[in-house]
Amino acid sequence: MNTFSVTVLGSSAAIATPGRGLSSQVLRYGPELFLIDCGEGTQFQLRRFKISVGHINRVFISHLHGDHFFGLIGLLSTWHLLRRVKAVDIYAPPALEDILKMQFEASGTVPNYPIIFHPVTAESPRLILDHPQMEVFSLPLTHRVPTTGFLFREKPLPRRINPESIDFYNVPYHSIEALRHGKDYTDATGRVIPNAELTLPSPASRSYAYCSDTAYNESLVPLIAGSTLLYHEATFMHDRIKSAIEKGHSTSIQAADIAEKAGVKQLLLGHFSARYDDLHPLLNEARGVFERTMLAEDGTTYPIE
Ligand SMILES: [Zn+2]
């Protein structure tokens, strides 16, 4: 099975702190690296945590608040200086395309690699990437500007081979791949052996939901139901629910409530207000609602399994 994990590069809200950078994450699926959000300082965090920048081929930007994209032009310029030739696909709010154009033009830079821009609007959930092994959907979030989260969902995995029945029926090696994809096997005498006798059910598909920034919104629940790992912002503790509502953010209890209602396997809290040095009270509060909660920490990799 492919490695599937997420590394947090920045877990702070709006303002960076000495221990927490601005929003950015690297999602790893097999050999592929996807960058999710790119706050200022992201390229330094990538170097600091020894992530091979050149392997990132796709970038997803949730919204156009500075703490989620001000690092992008820096990273794109660095790729140009490193003589990157491979294309980069960017999935982001439509206005970002002109912003990047203007920034490149003003600095007299013509990137020596193609940038393929995919505008993502926040009105309704949509399939935005159909990758051979994964589907990526946009998730409309509730914030002060149009914002989308992202759901990365592995496509159904092939069935597993049952080695004993393969031996028993003497299935040749070249017929095995078809069995993984559900085909029956016909032997040399013309007898058909049903697939179910030769294989075991496929492992469950894994998924990662990224929900930042957003106010509490229950319409997210059916879209992210059953996710393996949910990253949900928890800018404030619940005593600041008034600020959360005013600013289009969530509290730790609200994030846990969404996780509980969506029946996800694990919850990762992030996008913490710079006012908190110690995040454990926030974690404890969330765990009162949803036990399988973790705190996002810069430089930590969380397996999605
Ligand atoms: Zn933010």
Q: Mean pLDDT over residues 123-142, rounded?
A: 95
Say how many Å lie between the CA of residue 201 and the centre of ligand 1. Answer: 41
Q: Are residues 42 and 172 in the same domain?
A: no
CATH number at residue 297: 3.60.15.10
Residue 108 has a pLDDT of 94
Say how many Å lie between the CA of residue 15 and the centre of ligand 1. Answer: 9
Say how many Å lie between the CA of residue 53 and the centre of ligand 1. Answer: 23
Q: Mean pLDDT over residues 1-17, rounded?
A: 94
Candidates 67, 213, 257, 298; catalytic one? 67
Q: Are residues 168 and 239 in the same domain?
A: no
Residues 6+ apart with CB under 8 A from 160: 180, 199, 200, 201, 202, 203
Say how many Å lie between the CA of residue 111 and the centre of ligand 1. Answer: 28
Task: With 0.75 as the threshold, say if the pTM is over it.
Answer: yes
Give yes or no for a contact between 46 and 70, defined as CB atoms under 8 angstroms apart.
Answer: no
Say how many Å lie between the CA of residue 64 and the centre of ligand 1. Answer: 9
pLDDT band (50, 70, 90) for residue 188: confident
Say how many Å lie between the CA of residue 68 and the centre of ligand 1. Answer: 6
Query: What are the residues whose beta carbon lies below 5 Å from ligand 1 (ion)?
Result: 67, 213
Residue 156 has a pLDDT of 87
Q: Mean pLDDT over residues 263-276, rounded?
A: 97
**In this model, does residue 243 exceed pLDDT 90?**
yes
Q: Are residues 164 and 222 in the same domain?
A: no
Nearest to 250 by CA among 279, 224, 218: 218
Tokens found for residue 240: 């600041």
**In this model, does residue 204 exceed pLDDT 90?**
no
Q: Are residues 267 and 149 in the same domain?
A: yes
pLDDT digit string, tens, across residues 156-170: 888 999 999 999 999
Kindly give the pairing relationship between strand 32-38 and strand 56-60. parallel
Q: Mean pLDDT over residues 53-77, rounded?
A: 96
Q: Are residues 89 and 174 in the same domain?
A: no
For residue 277, indicate whether it is catalytic. no
Q: Taking the CB of residue 206, how many other CB atoms lie within 10 A of it?
A: 21
Residues 6+ apart with CB under 8 A from 282: 234, 237, 252, 269, 272, 276, 295
Host domain of residue 85: 4-157+203-303
Q: What is the CA radius of gyration of the chain?
A: 22
- According to DSSP, the residues that pair with 209 across neighbouring strands are 151, 230
**In this model, does residue 1 exceed pLDDT 90?**
no
Nearest to 147 by CA among 231, 62, 224: 62
Q: Are residues 53 and 67 in the same domain?
A: yes
Q: Mean pLDDT over residues 188-192, rounded?
A: 91
Q: Are residues 75 and 180 in the same domain?
A: no
Q: Residue 105 phi/psi, 5° resolution?
A: -60, -45
Q: Are residues 152 and 255 in the same domain?
A: yes
Summary mean pLDDT of the chain: 95
